[in-house]
Amino acid sequence: MAKYLLLKHYRGAPAAVNDVPMERWTPEEISAHVRYMGDFAERLQETGEYVDGQALAPEGTWVRYDGEGRPPVTDGPFAETKDLIAGWMVIDVDSRERAVELAGELSAAPGAGGEPIHEWLELRPFLSAPPTITE
Amino acid sequence: MTSEVPAGVDGPLLRSLTPSVLGVLVRRGADFAAAEDAVQEALVEALRVWPADLPRDPRAWLVTVAWRRFLDAARADAARRRREERVEEEPAPGPASDVDDTLRLYFLCAHPSLTPSSAVALTLRAVGGLTTRQIARAYLVPEATMAQRISRAKRTVAGVRLDRPGDVATVLRVLYLVFNEGYSGDVDLAAEAIRLTRQLAAVVDHPEVAGLLALMLLHHARRDARTAPDGALVPLAEQDRGRWDTRAVAEGVAILRGALARDRLGEFQAQAAVAALHADAPTAEETDWVQIVEWYDELVRLTDSPVARLNRAVAVGEADGPHAGLAALARLDASLPRYTAVAAHLHERAGDRERAAVLYAEAAGKASDLAERHHLTRQAARLNTRLGR
């Protein structure tokens, strides 16, 4: 089994095919989208491949250490150009092929007009622990 | 203990005995952290033994087993030998009652030296009798993390003397936090908060305890109506009032009435009064918004809370019209959570749908939970669809 991170972006990803902001959909289209996402996660729980999923708020801050006895320096909100992550799902699957397949399904979530969004998702393998048997 | 209680064991009874059993051990001189561990072990033992052999006096059984476990642990620890001998020789100090034991435990677990998250965890375990695993699941953190949080909390309060009553307001804040966490995982924290507040109300006579219990019951009564079959949030005005739990409403209203009659108003009674007025209205249109505004005035006076002022602006919008609501809103800090959502609602009611649609979309971006975000996005979508864009 190998773990993969599926990343969804607010911005920074290549444009989706069906690229209409959600507030321009109909309320029914939003419901259909939310249902699709919920069903997807539920199905992965049933197959034993779901690990975690979270959504992130769009606002955020850069923070860094500024030396002994000083409060950390903060900068933000994020600049408009910054790649902005909207949320993630962690899956634990048997192969990279399976991970790609699932990411493709997630990207097919319905959007405006009930048509698939064809949204670009970022698929990142986790670095794993070293194997017990090495020779 | 919803999922871990075997048939034949009365889970709620078992957990309701937790605080008084723990209280007895502490009164006999056991230090809190060790006593709490011993009681948890006794609870586990009860789950194992009771299905086959239910004791006639469950509480006495738990006290005996927990005390034995405590002594075993103390004996096993050579460094504690001296203290253990002292404990065994020392007669129980005075005939304190169960009521005092339980109450002291609530105060200890909500002690001001604890952070809110630690106080919540400790209360659920030591007063509520939940296992660390259940608490961890309810708060969606790893069990090891929750175990650490609880043992640090126990160390923090280890030196606190239990003989002085604390401030009941700190206990109420902890219970309120538990209630607001709602339902996630296999423990219904809202129901658990109600149980613990009910238990507290039985041992302390305080109008704010009653006020909080009433507030919880009135909100809990609406829980089923608050979510659509697809999981979407249903705002108060659109809820099917036939799905409200009328028994919980009746109980909440009766408890609130008793509290208000004492004429010692506090924030929880005022909040419960607002909830009661909503519960009282057969339809959203028949809501007595004028009285609700008056209760928010009281709440602002009592707490000076910006959230109360924001809710007051919503109520003013209903009582005196959206323009009055917007005027009240204009005096508040625009960075308040939900400010933009309230502005969107009031602009829509004032007839400015285009502005409302833009504000709903903006509010969705600021929402702090996913259900709220979807709800606000849907509101924007509803207006945009009607505006034909």
Task: Parse chain B into domains and list their residue ranges.
Answer: 205-287, 288-332, 337-389
In total, chain A counts a number of residues equal to 135
pLDDT score at B78: 60
Higher pLDDT, B14 or B79: B14
Residues 51-70 of A with CB under 8 A from B: 55, 57-59
Q: pLDDT band at residue B308, thresholds of 50, 70 and 90? A: very high
Record: contact A29-B370, CB cut-off 8 A? no
Nearest CA distance, A69 vs chain B (angstrom)? 24
| DSSP symbols for B95-144 | ---HHHHHHHHHHHHT-TTS-HHHHHHHIIIIIT---HHHHHHHTTS-HH
Q: What angle do CA B31, B33, B39 make, to 5 degrees?
A: 95
| DSSP symbols for B201-218 | HHH---HHHHHHHHHHHH
Nearest CA distance, A135 vs chain B (angstrom)? 34
Record: contact A34-B360, CB cut-off 8 A? no
The amino acid present at B57, given as its one-letter code, is D
pLDDT score at B2: 43
To the question of pTM greater than 0.95 for the whole model, the response is no
- The tens-digit pLDDT sequence of chain A (135 residues) is 899 999 999 999 999 999 999 999 999 999 999 999 999 999 999 999 999 999 999 888 999 999 999 999 999 888 887 889 999 999 999 999 999 999 999 999 999 999 999 999 999 999 988 788 877
Residues of A in contact with B386 (CB under 8 A): none
pLDDT in tens, B236-284: 999 999 999 999 999 999 999 999 999 999 999 999 999 999 999 999 9
In total, chain B counts a number of residues equal to 389
pLDDT score at B310: 97
Record: contact B357-A23, CB cut-off 8 A? yes
Q: How far apart are CA A125 and CA A3, in angstroms?
A: 6
Q: What angle do CA B209, B212, B214 make, to 5 degrees?
A: 110
Record: contact B389-A31, CB cut-off 8 A? no
Q: pLDDT band at residue B4, thresholds of 50, 70 and 90? A: low
- Decide if B331 touches A, using CB distance below 8 A: no
Range in A84-93, B72-81, B122-131, B286-295 with the lowest mean pLDDT: B72-81
SS3 A9: strand
Record: contact B381-A30, CB cut-off 8 A? yes
- Decide if A113 touches B, using CB distance below 8 A: no
User: Does position B88 have pLDDT exceeding 80, yes or no?
Assistant: no
Asked if residue B182 lies in contact with residue B197, where contact means CB atoms within 8 angstroms, the answer is no
Q: How far apart are CA B134 and CA B140, in angstroms?
A: 10
* Residue contacts between A and B (CB atoms, under 8 Å): 42
> Which of A23, A26, A34 lies nearest to residue B361, judging by beta carbons?
A23
User: Does position B315 have pLDDT exceeding 50, yes or no?
Assistant: yes
Provide the Cα torsion B219, B288, B295, B322; round to 10°.
100
pLDDT score at B28: 87
Record: contact A27-B381, CB cut-off 8 A? yes
pLDDT in tens, B101-160: 888 889 999 999 999 999 999 999 999 999 999 999 888 889 999 999 999 999 998 877
The arithmetic mean of pLDDT across residues B167-177, rounded, is 93
Identify whether A102 is part of a domain: yes
Nearest CA distance, A50 vs chain B (angstrom)? 15
- Decide if A73 touches B, using CB distance below 8 A: no
Mark residue A77 as left, alpha or beta (left: phi above 0; alpha: psi -120 to 50; beta: remaining): beta
Mark residue A92 as left, alpha or beta (left: phi above 0; alpha: psi -120 to 50; beta: remaining): beta
Residues of A in contact with B357 (CB under 8 A): 23
- Decide if A31 touches B, using CB distance below 8 A: yes
User: Does position B192 have pLDDT exceeding 60, yes or no?
Assistant: yes
**Which CA distances in Å does B262 have to B80, B126, B145?**
49, 31, 43
Which residue of A23, A36, A40 to mutate against B (max B Cβ within 10 Å)? Answer: A23
> Looking at the 3D structure of chain A, how many domains does it have?
1
Q: pLDDT band at residue B91, thresholds of 50, 70 and 90? A: very low
Nearest CA distance, B265 vs chain A (angstrom)? 38
pLDDT in tens, B339-389: 999 999 999 999 999 999 999 999 999 998 889 999 999 999 999 999 886
> Which of A26, A35, A58 lies nearest to residue B230, judging by beta carbons?
A35
User: Does position B320 have pLDDT exceeding 90, yes or no?
Assistant: yes
Residues of B in contact with A24 (CB under 8 A): 381, 384, 389
> Which of A21, A34, A59 lies nearest to residue B374, judging by beta carbons?
A34
pLDDT in tens, B355-368: 999 999 999 999 98
Residues of B in contact with A31 (CB under 8 A): 230, 232, 378
pLDDT in tens, B201-249: 998 999 999 999 999 999 999 999 999 988 889 999 999 999 999 999 9
> Which of B232, B365, B384 lies nearest to residue A31, judging by beta carbons?
B232
Identify whether A135 is part of a domain: no
| DSSP symbols for B35-56 | HHHHHHHHHHHHHHHTTTS--S
Burial readout B125-152 (b: 16 or more C-beta within 10 A, e: otherwise): bbbbbbbbebbbbbbeeeeeebbebbee
- Decide if A114 touches B, using CB distance below 8 A: no
Asked if residue B140 lies in contact with residue B184, where contact means CB atoms within 8 angstroms, the answer is yes
Mean pLDDT of chain B: 89
Q: Name the closest residue on chain A to residue B384, using Cα atoms.
A: A24
- Decide if B254 touches A, using CB distance below 8 A: no
User: Does position B79 have pLDDT exceeding 70, yes or no?
Assistant: no
Record: contact A31-B368, CB cut-off 8 A? no
Record: contact A22-B382, CB cut-off 8 A? no
Record: contact B381-A22, CB cut-off 8 A? yes
The amino acid present at A17, given as its one-letter code, is V
pLDDT score at A15: 92
pLDDT score at B164: 62
Q: pLDDT band at residue B163, thresholds of 50, 70 and 90? A: low
Nearest CA distance, B371 vs chain A (angstrom)? 10
Q: Name the closest residue on chain A to residue B388, using Cα atoms.
A: A24
- Decide if A29 touches B, using CB distance below 8 A: yes
CATH number at residue A77: 3.30.70.1060
**Residue numbers of the domain that contains A86:** 2-125
Residues 266-295 of B with CB under 8 A from A: none
Identify whether A132 is part of a domain: no
